[in-house]
Amino acid sequence: MATFLYKLGRLSFRRRHFVALIWVALLTLAGVGAASAPAAGNSSFSIPGTEAQKAFDLLEQRFPGTSADGATARVVFKAPSGEKMTDPGNKATVKETVKELSDGSEVVRVTDPYQAKAVSKDGTIAYAQVSYKVSGMELDDAAKDALKDSAQDAREAGLTVEIGGDALQAVPHTGSSEIIGIAVAAVVLVITFGSLVAAGLPLLTALIGVGIGVSAITGLASALDLGSTTSTLAMMIGLAVGIDYALFIVSRYRAELAEGREREEAAGRAVGTAGSAVVFAGLTVVIALVGLSVVNIPMLTKMGIAAAGTVAIAVLIALTMVPALLGYAGRKVRPMGEKGKLLGRAKKKDQPAKPNLGTRWASFVVRRPVAVLLLGVIGLGAAAVPATSLELGLPDDGSQPTSTTQRRAYDLLSEGFGPGFNGPLMVVVDAKGSDDPKAVFAETGDEIKGLKDVVTVTPAQPNKAGNTATITVIPGSKPSSVTTENLVHGIRDAGAGIKADTGANVLVTGSTAMNIDVSEKLNDALVPYLVLVVGLAFLLLIVVFRSILVPLKAALGFLLSVMAALGAVVAVFQWGWLSGLMGVEQTGPVMSMMPIFMVGVVFGLAMDYEVFLVTRMREAYVHGEKPAQAVVTGFRHGARVVTAAAVIMMAVFAGFIGSSESMVKMIGFGLAIAVFFDAFVVRMAIVPAVLALLGRKAWWLPKWLDRALPNVDVEGEGLRTRTDRGDEDRELVRA
């Protein structure tokens, strides 16, 4: 592989005009496609195989035209102090509001609070429910404006009016902090390279890669049903890995120049060596992201594949466009060790080289491996302690900031009707194969009334055929509580008995039941996902490092860092530590998909640093150095660059903490803290300590396995032999 990439790097350097033209053309094509593509709606949130999804599908068949998965809005009214909603003036205002709400072309129906008995017992709070034909993200701006205007008219009449539900769902924005993350990355690159030109190359190539990836996602969003979060995730990961991959190749290029090589040769060797690490690092990230498809949640699968595509683009750009731009830069990108235009450390030729910080740190770790290892493991273990209190759930209006109308509507409904009113359960009774459907409907309602934590059970509402009915159940607890989850399972258990007696199917659905099913599905998929992703990456790393213990150590170190990161997420988003600093206005359960998503992304990123750092160590070991000295050599060449890469990645991820979307905010924080733990504790401390303790055993591989594995030559041994032969030939010609 090193030889192939070496040729690719030299070709890209020589044919830089052609390479640059191709990438600019791709960026233009993707941009035009994104600009001309129809606007994407909200990604359909279907969960194949879950009971809640089966019930939704059944409702579409048996209750055609009801738009079971359409947007809903709850317009909540509260009477002024000392008045009631049943007072003539207030009642007239509500009636007029209901009439205004019914005029929209996308409105299916609007319930009158007085006819639907949607007035609280004390008479102070009432609500009208609006059902739409389409989802919240597909709802026209005109329909949303009409909803807001109707509420404002009622406010002007003296009522307190708030709007809940998903009808006002908005596209999340990331805020200015994303730009700050890129600015921090630029500063780190300037400090690392001491040159504006060298620092600008990774930023430029990363932005081009992200531009192509995100534009392609935007252009295909409508056709492939991609949600807005998909492009945000692709941008987040694409920026981070794009900068890092280019950083490693530019850094190696400068090191090759420092050894006296010509610029084209240096570009070829940089791509042949550092580029090999980039390829395998990118493969681990792609495996982790594509592996999300095993969860069988279409939205998560699409997010993973889209982000993986952006990573693949980042790899290709690093291997081709970076050497092409190095050709354009010429002598403006100077050899490592020479003074840059802005920052640098000039050194006289006869002055002995001073050990850099990476060398000094690695030497210390090699001398004190046990102490460093224990300190690192105990520290990460302490950070992981909060993860033992992890509570999972999906966000609802109760997790919104108190400044939003959705949250205020949620609180008003809890005040007037109880906390469970915000998470009603819809029970669908399929009595098509029963002899007496009406009796089955009545029996189901009676069974549910006898369960704990049930406040209200509405009479069954049959369809026109009379073979299927819906029953609404109001729990006594809030939607995200364990008590409500137990009630859902209790109804399903009761339904199993009804099916045994009558043959009728009883299904529980609604947003609350769907959230519960999603959480359980994600929990069930976590172990198979870990086995698949870690197993494939383990095999890949065996090929890269030609070792059993090094990949094993890499996987165990990853588990430490991801558990510590989950502990930090629990401490901030569930316990509320530093919540004000992070902009977390409302604490609550951690998003259900967070653990499995963090496992996937963090594993891929963790293997990036493992590959970049340890390949340098293996390269030194293969070329004859002792194991302890190889660790120090790997740090001398790679520690500074890996540190810069980690800081850049943390800055990019942290930039997304400013997002208005709680999911993006949590992912940004979780990935940033995970990179910190993995890069600076696991890879910089635990890894060299373990390698120092293992010695030559770290690089042991059974002979039969060594013969069976393909030789990918990540260390560039074949490349070194090739160039050495070339040097000898040139010497003979001169002679």
**What is the band of 137 on the pLDDT scale with cuts at 50, 70, 90?**
low
Inter-CA distances, 451 with 51, 179, 471, 473, Å: 20, 53, 15, 11
Q: Kindly state the helix (H) or strand (E) to which residue 218 belongs, with its residue range.
A: helix 196-224
Q: Give the pLDDT confidence score for residue 312 in this predicted structure.
A: 93
Please, how many CA atoms are within 13 Å of residue 578, restricted to the half-sphere of its CB? Answer: 9
Q: Percent helix, strand and coil across the chain, each rounded to 5? A: 65, 5, 25
Q: Give the pLDDT confidence score for residue 125 in this predicted structure.
A: 93
**What is the band of 730 on the pLDDT scale with cuts at 50, 70, 90?**
very low
Q: What is the pLDDT of residues 423-457, one digit of tens each?
A: 889 999 998 878 888 899 999 999 999 898 898 88
**What is the band of 345 on the pLDDT scale with cuts at 50, 70, 90?**
very low
Residue 488 CB burial class (10 angstroms; 0-12, 13-18, ≥19): buried
List phi, psi (to 5°) of 105.
Answer: -70, -25
Q: What is the pLDDT of residues 512-570, one digit of tens each?
A: 888 888 888 888 888 888 888 888 878 888 887 888 998 888 888 888 988 999 999 99
User: What value does the mean pLDDT of the chain take?
Assistant: 82
Per-residue burial over 516-534, b if 16 or more Cβ lie within 10 Å, else e, is bbbbebbeebeeebbebbb
- Contact between residue 214 and residue 313 where contact means Cβ atoms under 8 Å apart: no
Average pLDDT over residues 218-240: 76
d(CA 551, CA 538): 6
Measured on CA atoms in the order 300, 306, 310, 315, is the torsion positive or negative? positive
Q: Give the pLDDT confidence score for residue 735 in this predicted structure.
A: 40
Q: Give the pLDDT confidence score for residue 492 in this predicted structure.
A: 92
**What is the band of 135 on the pLDDT scale with cuts at 50, 70, 90?**
low
**733 pLDDT above the threshold of 70:** no
Please, how many CA atoms are within 13 Å of residue 170, restricted to the half-sphere of its CB? Answer: 14
Residues 6+ apart with CB under 8 A from 72: 129, 130, 131, 132, 165, 166, 167
384 CB neighbour count, 10 Å cutoff: 21
Q: Give the pLDDT confidence score for residue 15 in this predicted structure.
A: 92
**What is the band of 731 on the pLDDT scale with cuts at 50, 70, 90?**
very low
Q: Give the pLDDT confidence score for residue 729 in this predicted structure.
A: 44
Residue 189 CB burial class (10 angstroms; 0-12, 13-18, ≥19): buried
**379 pLDDT above the threshold of 90:** yes
The pTM (predicted TM-score) of the whole model is 0.76
Average pLDDT over residues 307-334: 90
**36 pLDDT above the threshold of 50:** yes
In percent, the amount of the chain with pLDDT more than 90 equals 20
**381 pLDDT above the threshold of 90:** yes
**167 pLDDT above the threshold of 70:** yes
Q: What is the pLDDT of residues 171-224, one digit of tens each?
A: 555 555 567 777 887 888 888 777 778 888 888 898 899 899 888 888 877 677
Average pLDDT over residues 255-267: 88
Average pLDDT over residues 494-499: 90
Average pLDDT over residues 49-62: 84
In percent, the amount of the chain with pLDDT more than 70 equals 88
If you average pLDDT over each of 159-168, 228-237, 582-591, which comes out highest? 159-168
3-state secondary structure of 226: coil
Average pLDDT over residues 312-340: 84
d(CA 147, CA 75): 9
Residues 6+ apart with CB under 8 A from 345: 194, 337, 339
Radius of gyration of the chain (CA): 30
Beta strands of 422-464 (E only): which ranges? 425-430, 454-457, 461-462
Q: Give the pLDDT confidence score for residue 423 in this predicted structure.
A: 84
**723 pLDDT above the threshold of 60:** no
- Contact between residue 693 and residue 373 where contact means Cβ atoms under 8 Å apart: yes
First to last CA, the chain: 33
